[in-house]
Amino acid sequence: MRYSALSILSQALSGNTGWKPVWREPDPKEHYDVIVVGGGGHGLSTAYYLAKEFGVTKVAVVEKGWLGSGNIGRNTTIIRSNYLLPGNEPFYELSMKLWEGLEQDFNYNAMVSQRGIVNLFHSDSQRDAYARRGNAMVMAGADAELLDEDGVRRLCPFLDFDNARFPIRGGLVQKRGGTARHDAVAWGYARGADSRGVDIIQNCEVTGFDIKNGVCKGVVTSKGRIKADKVAVCVAGSSSRVMAAAGMRLPIESHVLQAFVSEGLKPVLPGVITFGAGHFYISQSDKGGLVFGGDIDGYNTYAQRGNLPVVEDVCEGGMAVMPMIGRARLLRMWGGVMDMSMDGSPFIDKTDINGLYFNGGWCYGGFKATPASGYCYAHLIARGEPHPVATEFRLDRFRRGHIIDEKGAGAQPNLH
Amino acid sequence: MIIDHPLLGPRDAAEFVILGDASLINRPDPEAADAEERFYEYVYLRDNPAGLHRELWYHEQGDRSWLVVTRNTLTHEIAKVELARGIAVNLASASKKKAGRKGGSA
Ligand SMILES: Cc1cc2nc3c(=O)[nH]c(=O)nc-3n(C[C@H](O)[C@H](O)[C@H](O)COP(=O)(O)OP(=O)(O)OC[C@H]3O[C@@H](n4cnc5c(N)ncnc54)[C@H](O)[C@@H]3O)c2cc1C
């Protein structure tokens, strides 16, 4: 069923009794052209673009839990393309362009809201770094604007401009950045894939691979073996565990990132604000809650919860930049496990095992990548070669010395 | 998390910084024939287990010792805390003995 003003009106008149489930619940078939492991945002968008753009429709998405149970349903929903390095920026800008047309493309309301993002700076050197980043963005076809202190004051008068330690001197703005409704992104892609014949198989964990003589011929799951010509893994925080079943060691550590939501307030924040001196970012949801977060906890973990020192650290960051946050009550908080890669950048690549593909290492920035990640992964799987904007996301880049170290933090995943 | 320091007793984990996998103590021999491959693996690849994990913690806001903490990455439970120095010294003497048996010298 396509959603339209007319379909909503006719449902309203018939008491909303005619809505159908948005995707089927099929049993696994014996064989698929492509099995996508992991029904998060990236897995679902990969299946969607495989079917829609590349004509591969004998596809299954195999998910160990329920759709949206992973990081796609846990993140703070910020979308932006304000990267610096040539290996990254064109990729994230493609993602931004896909976000801009997403809802029309998959006929689903993902609440994509380009309310703008401002990265604050607090010193001359930081201003220079942001000016450079802004220029790199513009050169890659994105939008960027450098504001001075008065410009930021007009936008967000409530910030602590005269903070003795970190006075605000200005900010880099990307007006096309913003937020999207994370769950709806998963649901929209799932519906779009399902309606093109993709089987979405939930509650089905992949426990191993069918690998013979260096060729992957399918997966072993909690619902039995399923054969496939190609197997495409994208399991976010579980990458090391899943790829270990294929005998691979990855340049990845699993770390937790926490998120926080306050009670609902009247609209106070114009868009997304990030603190340039500490790690703190904040936006306001359409329901009014302040949604914010900061650093990862910084040590290996698979527990989907964080620890208190980082809660304190995030709240201190919030108080330093935006003291009025101290008046809001915290409603809830949670953690999600992410693949922190050694240079902070992701992977979209073939592996040395024929027919086995890997997508991961998104660290804490993979939500904004959801459309381009799926698109480029589908391109690689269907065509056998990387999409032009994703050529650097190779697994062997560390061996070759071609790391994409956006933050300049070296091989220290807990610093990215 | 509370880390039970072998010399100082229970300390808040916030006093420490973490470096990562304790296998980083085992720095490959730069003279080895396959040193390039081994350094690539040493610097970039990780086992990243779900369960017991041995890792290096530095008591930055304390006595500045390095500890090897054995911690469960699923529960955050700490099973064992050792001084990294003791482990490194043992490793060094073990590898010296091995080299000695082969007739080599340092
Ligand atoms: C608190 C928090 C805040 C964040 N904020 C932002 C943000 O503001 N902006 C941004 O761009 N990014 C953000 N991120 C990062 C972003 O959420 C992730 O990088 C991205 O969602 C990961 O891709 P995914 O959606 O496909 O992952 P997931 O949704 O985690 O999908 C992976 C799926 O694989 C499944 N799986 C795992 N193992 C198996 C198996 N063996 N068999 C079958 N299925 C399996 C999992 O159940 C899961 O559903 C944030 C993350 C967190 C935790």
Q: pLDDT tens digits for A52-87?
A: 999 999 999 999 999 999 999 999 999 999 999 999
Across the interface, whether the CB atoms of A302 and B20 are under 8 A apart is answered: no
- Answer whether residue B39 shows pLDDT above 70: yes
State what percent of residues in chain B have pLDDT above 90: 80
Provide, as residue numbers in chain B, all residues whose Cβ is less than 8 Å from the Cβ of A299: 18, 55, 71
User: What does pTM read for this prediction?
Assistant: 0.95
Q: Is B50 on the interface with A (CB under 8 A)?
A: yes
pLDDT band at B86 (very low <50, low <70, confident <90, very high): confident
CA angle B64, B70, B76 (to 5 degrees): 100
Taking the CA of residue B54 and the nearest CA in chain A, the distance in Å comes to 10
CA angle A386, A338, A45 (to 5 degrees): 45
Determine the Cα–Cα distance for residues A252 and B45; give it in Å rounded to an integer: 7
**Which strand (E) or helix (H) includes residue A334?**
strand A330-341
Provide, as residue numbers in chain B, all residues whose Cβ is less than 8 Å from the Cβ of A300: 20-21, 48, 53, 55, 73
Whose tokens are 């086995």? That residue is: A356
pLDDT at B102: 53
pLDDT band at B104 (very low <50, low <70, confident <90, very high): very low
pLDDT at B101: 58
A367, A368, A416, best to mutate for ligand 1 pocket (most atoms within 8 Å of CB): A367
pLDDT band at B87 (very low <50, low <70, confident <90, very high): confident
Q: Is A413 on the interface with B (CB under 8 A)?
A: yes
Residue A291 · residue A261 · CB < 8 Å:
yes
pLDDT < 70: residue spans in chain A: none
pLDDT at B91: 80
Q: Is A241 on the interface with B (CB under 8 A)?
A: yes
- Lookup: tokens for A245: 């079943």
Residue A77 beta carbon below 6 angstroms from any ligand 1 atom: yes
Across the interface, whether the CB atoms of B41 and A250 are under 8 A apart is answered: no
Across the interface, whether the CB atoms of B47 and A298 are under 8 A apart is answered: no
Taking the CA of residue A296 and the nearest CA in chain B, the distance in Å comes to 13
Determine the Cα–Cα distance for residues A119 and B89; give it in Å rounded to an integer: 47
- Answer whether residue B105 shows pLDDT above 50: no
pLDDT at A284: 97
Cα A128 to middle of ligand 1, angstroms: 33
Q: CA distances (Å), A216 to each of A2, A34, A190, A247, in order?
A: 37, 11, 25, 12
Residue A344 beta carbon below 6 angstroms from any ligand 1 atom: no
Mutating which of A248, A249, A302, A412 best tests the B interface, going by the most B Cβ atoms within 10 A? A302
Determine the Cα–Cα distance for residues A134 and A47; give it in Å rounded to an integer: 33
Burial of B83 (0-12, 13-18, 19+ CB in 10 A): middle
Q: CA distances (Å), A19 to each of A3, A7, A12, A14, A213, in order?
A: 10, 10, 10, 10, 49
Residue A113 · residue A178 · CB < 8 Å:
yes
Determine the Cα–Cα distance for residues B28 and A208; give it in Å rounded to an integer: 32
DSSP assignment letter at A97: H
Cβ neighbours for A5, distance < 8 A, ≥ 6 positions apart:
none
Among left, alpha and beta (phi > 0; psi -120 to 50; other), residue A374 is alpha
Would strands A224-233 and A31-37 be described as parallel, antiparallel, or unpaired? parallel
